[in-house]
Amino acid sequence: MKLKWFRNKQNHMLLKLVVAILLMGFAFCLVFFRSTTVSPILEQTPIARKSVVPNPNPNPNPGPNPNPKPVSPILEETNISQKSVVPIPIPIPIPNPNPNPNPNPPVYVQVQGNEDQVPPKENFEEKCNLLTGDWIPNPSGPTYTNRSCSLIESHQNCIDNGRPDTGYLYWRWNPRDCELPPFDPERFLETMRDKTWALIGDSISRNHVQSLLCMLSQVEQAVQVYHDEDYRSKRWKFPSYNFTISVIWSPFLVKADIFEDFNGVSTSEVELYLDKLDKKWTDQYQNLDYMIISSGKWFLKSSIYHENDTVLGCHYCPKRNLTELGFDFAYRKSLRFVLDFIVSSNHKGLIFFRTSTPDHFENGEWSNGGSCLRTAPVKEGEMELKDLNRILRKVELEEFERAAFKASENGVNLKLLDLTMLSLLRPDGHPGPYREFYPYAKDKNATVQNDCLHWCLPGPIDSWNDVIMEMVVNG
Annotated catalytic residues are 203, 451, 454
CB 202 within 8 Å of CB 155? no
**Exposure string over 213-226, b if 16+ CB within 10 A, otherwise e:** bbbbbbbeebeeee
Q: Which of 399, 424, 425, 418 is nearest to 468 (CA)?
A: 418
Q: Which residues pair with 324 in a beta bridge?
A: 314
Query: What is the spatial distance between Cα 298 and Cα 335, in angstroms, rounded to a whole number?
Result: 13
Phi, psi of 110 (to 5 degrees): -85, 125
Nearest-10 Cα torsion for 121, 125, 129, 130: 100
Helical axes 203-216 vs 462-469, angle rounded to 10°: 70
* Partner residues linked to 52 by β-bridges: none
- As a whole number of angstroms, the distance between CA 111 and CA 34 comes to 19
Cis peptide before 239 (omega within 30 of 0): no
Of 232, 250, 248, 252, the C-alpha closest to 199 is 248
Cβ–Cβ under 8 Å, residues 74 and 107: no
| Length of the chain as a residue count | 475
Residues 131 and 355: their CA atoms lie apart, in Å, by: 12
458 near 146, Cβ under 8 Å?
yes
- Give the whole-angstrom CA distance, residue 170 versus residue 207: 19
Q: Is the dihedral of CA 125, 464, 141, 153 positive or negative?
A: positive
